[in-house]
């Protein structure tokens, strides 16, 4: 195996430009595919939150007192689609807001009177799975006694769905193009290395070398290129992700849509594995054509 690895490294060193081109192309393919999977994982997590139920905030008016809580809660539960209701006093809300803003250096100690209202956090049933159903609930809840305003953070998602679908399609098309390009470049790199050692290979065959002995270094070369290209693409994606996440204000992470996470370890392993397979497949295509 050591001799196979040595010959594979010699092949790569003898074709530095094409090797670098292959690494760059695979890295770019992995970068685009990784960005798509990053979007997909976060979208799937958001969809999971949606399926567990949407949270609606009902802000109560100034006339509300804790003695009215049972009646208001009972009234809201009479609306179809309520899974759970949690009361949040304005004192608790102020404490939570101060805790959330600590990292940004904002203090609320000089406010004097608490400006926040008492709030009911309403968890809707997953059966309310359309914007129309949620809007109908919000409209009905807003007409109940002591309810001043009802808001929720998912209404604007619909405006972004066409853009998200366009980005998704674009990522698939670009990723596909770069995968094809990576296969082409990888196959040609191996083919050139094969031609450069044509005489040596013919001599090895004449003295009884098996096809496995001849081809293994080329397969290793494709695997090395795929691994390095996949790893480089993933590292670039990570630093781009960190740059984008660092540009998001700390308080924005309170909004579920802004709380983005990097790829999970299994997904990263899958992407690097795809890069390795891409390099191997390019080598396989090249050797089969020879």
Please identify which residue in the block is written with the tokens 């899974």: 83
The two three-digit tokens of residue 74, written as one number:
């009972």
Q: What is the mean pLDDT of the chain?
A: 75
- CATH entry, 55-153, from 3.40.190.10, 2.60.40.1930, 3.30.70.3040, 1.10.1040.50: 3.30.70.3040
List the single range of 13-27, 111-125, 233-247 with lowest mean pLDDT: 13-27
Torsion angle of the four alpha carbons 167, 171, 174, 176, in this order, in degrees rounded to the nearest 10? -140
List the single range of 37-41, 102-106, 136-140, 217-221 with lowest mean pLDDT: 102-106
% of the chain exceeding 70 in pLDDT: 65
The two three-digit tokens of residue 190, written as one number:
């191996």
Q: Does pTM top 0.75 for this prediction?
A: no
pLDDT tens column, 4-17: 676 667 666 666 77
> DSSP class of residue 116?
P
Integer Cα distance of 76 and 263 in angstroms: 40
pLDDT at 14: 67
pLDDT at 271: 82
Torsion angle of the four alpha carbons 37, 220, 290, 230, in this order, in degrees rounded to the nearest 10? 20
Tell me what the mean pLDDT of segment 195-215 comes to.
Answer: 71
Residue 253, pLDDT > 50, answer: no
Q: Where are the domains of the chain?
A: 2-49+158-289, 55-153
Strands 119-124 and 147-152: unpaired
| Residue 247 pLDDT level (bands cut at 50, 70, 90) | confident
pLDDT at 10: 67
pLDDT at 254: 44
pLDDT tens column, 83-137: 889 998 888 887 777 776 666 656 666 666 777 888 998 888 877 766 777 788 8
Residue 157, pLDDT > 50, answer: no
The two three-digit tokens of residue 20, written as one number:
């670098």
Name the residue among 5, 33, 12 with its Cα closest to residue 189: 12
| Residue 236 pLDDT level (bands cut at 50, 70, 90) | very high
Instruction: Tell me how far CA of residue 38 lies from CA of 45, 270, 288, in angstroms.
Output: 11, 12, 35
pLDDT at 239: 92
| Residue 153 pLDDT level (bands cut at 50, 70, 90) | low
Per the model's pLDDT, the better-predicted residue between 256 and 152 turns out to be: 152
């Amino acid at each position: 195996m050591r001799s196979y690895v040595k010959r594979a490294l010699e092949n790569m060193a003898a074709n530095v430009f094409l090797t670098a081109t292959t690494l760059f192309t695979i890295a770019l393919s992995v970068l685009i595919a990784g960005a798509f999977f990053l979007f997909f994982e976060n979208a799937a997590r958001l969809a999971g939150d949606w399926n567990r139920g949407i949270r609606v905030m009902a802000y109560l008016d100034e006339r509300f007192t804790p003695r009215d809580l049972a009646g208001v809660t009972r009234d809201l539960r009479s609306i179809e689609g309520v899974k759970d209701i949690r009361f949040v006093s304005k004192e608790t809300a102020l404490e939570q807001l101060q805790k959330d803003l600590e990292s940004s250096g904002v203090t609320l100690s000089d406010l004097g009177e608490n400006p926040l209202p008492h709030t009911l956090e309403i968890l809707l049933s997953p059966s309310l799975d359309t914007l129309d159903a949620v809007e109908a609930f919000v409209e009905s809840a807003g007409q109940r006694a002591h309810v001043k305003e009802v808001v929720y953070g998912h209404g604007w998602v619909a405006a972004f769905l066409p853009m998200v679908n366009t980005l998704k399609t674009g990522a698939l098309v670009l990723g596909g193009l770069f995968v094809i390009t990576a296969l082409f470049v990888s196959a040609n790199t191996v083919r050139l290395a094969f031609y450069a050692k044509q005489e040596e290979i013919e001599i090895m065959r004449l003295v009884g070398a098996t096809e496995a002995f001849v081809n293994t270094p080329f397969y290793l070369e494709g695997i090395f290129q795929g691994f390095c290209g996949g790893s480089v693409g993933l590292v670039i994606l990570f630093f781009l992700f960190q740059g984008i996440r660092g540009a998001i204000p700390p308080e924005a992470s309170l909004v579920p849509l802004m709380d983005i996470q990097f790829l999970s370890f299994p997904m990263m392993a899958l992407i690097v594995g795809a890069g390795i397979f891409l390099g191997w497949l390019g080598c396989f295509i090249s050797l089969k054509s020879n």
